[in-house]
A and B are shown apart, each in its own frame.
Chain A
Amino acid sequence: MAKQTSLGLALAIMALAAWGIYSALDWPLKSKLFPLVIAIPLFCLAAAEALWVFFAKDAAASASDFKLSQDQSPEVARRRTALAAGWIVGFFVLVLLLGFPIAVAAFVFVYLKLQGKEGWLFSAVFTAAVWFFFYGLFDLVLHMHFPDGWLFGGFGGF
């Protein structure tokens, strides 16, 4: 998994660097100097990593960064990861369609019910608490503005 992801990232960066170099060629000198100085070595480094993945026998040292927990079996981990990604994107779509205030309430409630498998009462109370905190702080105290959702006629936000 780590090897393929590393390869994927390296190839993606090669593509990005190549596009960066290509776009920069038409620019005036001062605008393109730094991008080229960065993108060309970036391309080479990415190529080096890609080659390493293909030809290296032992795994590379892992970075001093956090590692995802290994407690679950790979299938469970993969399924739950996809689920998590789905929830995140889903929340974003909810925000677009319903506007932040409603989306927050909807998301918290649905997440607690479906993913958390909590009871109706608990979910409702928890959602209400979160929503009041959100509303109290951002609307009443800070007067922050959230555009209406797309379903309600607002087209702003971008």
Chain B
Amino acid sequence: MKWKLALLGALLPIVAAAQPNFAGKTVTIVVGYKPGGGYDATARMLARHLPDRLPGKPTVIVQNMPGGNSIIAANHMYNVAKPDGLTLGTFNRNLPIAQLTKVQGVKYDMLKFAWIGSAANEATILAIRNDLPYKNFEELRKAKEPVVIGSTGPGANTHDFPLLLKDLLSLNLKIVSGYSSSADIMLAVERKEVDGRAGSYNSLKPFIDRKLVRPIIRARSNEAGIEQLPIDESFAKTPRAKAIMALRSAPEVIARPYVLPPNTPADIVKAYRDAFAATIKDPALVAEAQKAQFDLDYTSGDEAVKVLKEVLSQPKDIVDEFSKYVKFGE
């Protein structure tokens, strides 16, 4: 009998050690943006709800580290943050593209991060003013007058999505960039200064509901309410054009990425992945997020890595062609 107890006694510490414990510790979520934006809001919401699902119920706080379009935050997570499970990072979803197109200053490798997952998908759509005569994509294609689309600048989906539609699908669009935020563009739409904008379905939904704009075409990601819209890739005239559009859309499924530093021990990563999944999938939380006008969709760390591998293994000629259209930016 005694040997059973001895065995148990020997196994217990191993079992206990396999469960990381954050009791009494403070976990920091590093956000690559200033307070007030979507990435920050998601992080703060996670900071409130993650502790309950992490062993030891630590305090979770948010640290804003904007700069370099969140490359600085990613560099910090890759090079400086310790892999002890006390620092999480979230940053611009287009950072894999920045790595792919060899943007100067990139000091990280997306694939080497310990991925927790993504807290949302972002479905990008193009929406135009309701009182324009074009009711769907086919009609828009035949437009004789250029349709003016407002954008914030290269690197944002307000700019890149219509740019590809214009250059690769020959849509008659005129892109006017320099608006300080997507809310400013909506104001310009109301003023009839521009005819529409591209952006996340989430951010455009209140305006669609208000019948100010109507959605015309979407990118690869799907969401309830826009399933019927045509997809940009389906109209691509060449496989290369299709690959470029797919590349632009790829990060959409990792719209709110969360990572741990490279070489974080597997048990810590697992604890976070489980807590993260449980938090994001909690229906009460999803409802609360919807009220706050942002969506929560869970993407696992493994799926995220799969998408990244696809993105980062694109052949050079596609990357070069892509870089001609899409520049990395805010």
| A interface with B by C-beta (< 8 Å) | 143-145, 147, 154-156
Docked complex Cα distance between A71 and B76 (Å): 49
Question: How many Å from the CB of A141 to the closest CB on chain B?
Answer: 11
Q: Can you list 13 residue pairs at the A/B interface with Cβ under 8 Å?
A: A143-B26, A143-B59, A143-B61, A144-B63, A145-B28, A145-B61, A145-B63, A147-B80, A154-B80, A155-B80, A156-B76, A156-B80, A156-B81
Given pairs A147-B80, A156-B81, 11 additional interface contacts (CB within 8 A): A143-B26, A143-B59, A143-B61, A144-B63, A145-B28, A145-B61, A145-B63, A154-B80, A155-B80, A156-B76, A156-B80
CA of A17 to CA of B80, assembled, Å? 37
Chain B interface size range: under 10
Secondary structure call for the A interface: loop
The 8 A CB mask of B23-37 against A (1 = contact, 0 = none) is 000101000000000
Give the residues in chain A near B28, CB-CB below 8 Å.
145
Report the Cα distance A147→B26, complex, angstroms: 14
Chain A contacts of B76 at CB under 8 A? 156
Instruction: Find chain B residues with CB under 8 A from A154 CB.
Output: 80
B255 CB, min distance to chain A CBs, angstroms: 25
- Chain B, residues 2-43, CB within 8 Å of chain A (1/0): the string is 000000000000000000000000101000000000000000
1/0 contact trace for B75-101 toward A, CB 8 Å? Answer: 010001100000000000000000000
Of residues 43 through 65 on chain B, the ones whose CB sits less than 8 Å from some CB of chain A are 59, 61, 63
A145 to B28, CA, bound (A): 8
CA distance A156 to B59 in the complex (A): 22
Interface residues in B175-221 (C-beta closer than 8 Å to A): none
Q: Chain A residues near B26 (CB, 8 Å)?
A: 143
Give min CB distance, B87 to chain A, whole Å. Answer: 9
User: How many whole Å from B43's CB to the nearest CB in chain A?
Assistant: 13
Which 8 pairs show the lowest CB-CB distances between chains A and B?
A: A143-B61, A156-B80, A145-B63, A145-B28, A156-B76, A155-B80, A143-B26, A143-B59
